[in-house]
Amino acid sequence: MPVFEAEGRSPALWSTHTVVNQVPEWANDDLWDADVALREAVEQAGAHWAAERLQTYARQVGSPAARADAVAANVHGPQHRPYDARGHRLDAVDFHPAWHHLLGLLRQGGWVTLPWRDDRPGRWTAWAAGFYLHGQIEQGTLCPATMTQAAVPLLRREPALWAQVGDPLLSDAYDPRDIPLQAKASIWVGMGMTEKQGGSDVRANTTTAWPLDGGGRGGVYRVRGHKWFYSAPSSDAHLVSARIGPDGPMGCFWVPRWWGAQRNAVRIQRLKDKLGNRSNASGEVEFEDALGILIGEEGRGIATLVEMASYTRINCVLGSAAIVRAALVQALHSARHRQAFGRALAQQPAMRGVLLDLALESEAALQLGLRLAQACEDAAPLDQAWRRIVTPAAKFWVCKRAIAATAEAMEVLGGNGYVEEGTLARLLREAPVNSIWEGSGNVMCLDVLRAVQRQPQAAHALLNDWRQALHGDAAALGALRTLAAAWQTQTDGAALEHQARWIAQTLALLAQAVLLRTRAPAAVADAFIATRLGEAAVGQTLGVIDARSWATDAILARALPEA
């Protein structure tokens, strides 16, 4: 006889406990409606025409189905299939259907190449907003989208090639087929620079290209060598750096996956087993005399790929801003509903400081990403200064802060934040990659120095403009003066390198201060400036803020309106 019957208990009552005080994840599909700062920014940039489209996209990508796809695409990552069943070389990568759903959504939504074929004011902000919404749900798919988008301006300057690839490159159709390029409705383009012996130091590249018919811009070359990181390896083509001859100048080559009806000799050796970004494939490849076309002039290879990186780095900022936003909403939602020590966590004084800091960090990251995107739209000198000087600083600072902010948001959920059934674990695994690829932290800081040294007048004009915007903010003006003095007094580049991280950090914080002061409510700007640049800037750790000093309720309500 079962024990419970012997004890006179009913089987229906056989349960150990009732589950209470557990907060389901924030899984709403109103990513757009819930994001006041994003909606305001889109309006301010003149992209109101995109609002409805963004709202529709938010509902698609925020839907339960898309959220489930994001989980599945990362749990069931890409699989390398080097050969077919009969031993023919394929160099294929197989993806879970969830990956295709998400990448298809991104492409069909227009969030890959919209700003290159739309001339309405606000097009870059509209695109950035769509990219940011998508990045809150799934990050791996942003990689092929980013590289494809950034390849457009380079390829546009090559008339013969553009005539073949322009339409499928700009198309919003989603065509994942591994077939010759000529038959495709749309194509993806990757980027291959990093080699084993040197990634940041691109001059260390040993991959070599040999001209077939005299060579020169638009000429065909045989490319031999390897790439140690080659993301989205099944893309229809990559832009690849290689030396022209063993000791020759560096060139940039269009290396397609198919050459006419034949597979090109780009051999995927294996896929990387990565901490995060698991839905996306990153390969190691060998070029066995693969065929490629020279893009741009001989010797301009690095400059060409650096131009591409000037766009991809903005996407790293936006992708990191999306991670911070996704982490913030989970933290805020959980803290509002989880009770501890007699009240909601969001009401506990120490927790209010943490939530406030996360909310400030999130809006500042968003504003900076959107401003850099907006700068792509305008050739005005100030916009060019934002692009050239502020982008590397923002890439350094926002991508690093995203790691800290995501970890802090995870802790707001306590142990639940750490388990794989929630989104925080995936977000935290994802966060560091934006800081590493497209130029790691130190390299970005050195790039800020290079930009300032090459364009001192642009740097001067930028700080002048900021001085006016921050005229009432003594703390920010003090930081601005110290930064300007460091630039002016230390003309020796090597000496300045010791301060590279401080300079990039200060520049990024000032940029965020300016943007919040001119674009966000005063409550947000006041709290941000004082806690980042003023006397209240005490914490190396997020959350070292006295929430009583600021309009915390208003700032948190703005970050995520209570349902």
Q: Which residues bind ligand FAD (CB under 6 A)?
A: 190-194, 198-201, 229-231, 274, 277, 282, 433, 436-443, 446
- The least CB distance from residue 119 to ligand FAD, in Å, is 30
177: Cβ contacts below 8 Å, ≥ 6 apart: 183, 184
Integer Cα distance of 282 and 235 in angstroms = 11
What's the first-to-final CA gap in the chain, in angstroms? 51
- The least CB distance from residue 305 to ligand FAD, in Å, is 8
- The least CB distance from residue 553 to ligand FAD, in Å, is 40
- The least CB distance from residue 349 to ligand FAD, in Å, is 38
- The least CB distance from residue 545 to ligand FAD, in Å, is 30
Nearer to ligand FAD, 438 or 526 (CB): 438
Nearer to ligand FAD, 242 or 433 (CB): 433
How many alpha carbons lie under 13 Å from residue 551 in its C-beta half-sphere? Answer: 12
- The least CB distance from residue 269 to ligand FAD, in Å, is 14
Nearer to ligand FAD, 416 or 440 (CB): 440
Integer Cα distance of 487 and 455 in angstroms = 12
Nearer to ligand FAD, 277 or 531 (CB): 277
What DSSP state is assigned to residue 563?
A: -
- The least CB distance from residue 274 to ligand FAD, in Å, is 5
Nearer to ligand FAD, 301 or 439 (CB): 439
Integer Cα distance of 302 and 241 in angstroms = 7
Beta strands 237-244; 208-211: pairing state: parallel
Integer Cα distance of 146 and 533 in angstroms = 32
Nearer to ligand FAD, 191 or 359 (CB): 191
3-state secondary structure 512-554: HHHHHHHHCCHHHHHHHHHHHHCCCCCCCCCCCCCHHHCCHHH
What DSSP state is assigned to residue 386?
A: I
CA dihedral over 82, 181, 211, 299, signed as positive or negative = negative
- Orientation of helix 441-454 relative to helix 500-519, angle to 10°: 80
Q: Which amino acid, 423?
A: T
Nearer to ligand FAD, 312 or 423 (CB): 312
- The least CB distance from residue 384 to ligand FAD, in Å, is 24
Nearer to ligand FAD, 271 or 515 (CB): 271
Tokens of 382: 């100030």
Nearer to ligand FAD, 447 or 526 (CB): 447
Tokens of 541: 């750790």
Classify residue 2 by burial, with Cβ atoms within 10 Å: 0-12, 13-18, 19+.
exposed
Is 301 in contact with 252 (CB distance < 8 Å)?
yes
| CA-to-CA separations, 150 to 141, 157, 315, 390, in angstroms, rounded | 15, 13, 10, 18
Nearer to ligand FAD, 122 or 283 (CB): 283
- The least CB distance from residue 223 to ligand FAD, in Å, is 14
CB burial of 178-187 (b: ≥16 within 10 Å; e: otherwise) equals eebbeebebb
Integer Cα distance of 26 and 486 in angstroms = 45
Q: Minimal CB distance to ligand FAD: which residue?
A: 199
Nearer to ligand FAD, 62 or 192 (CB): 192
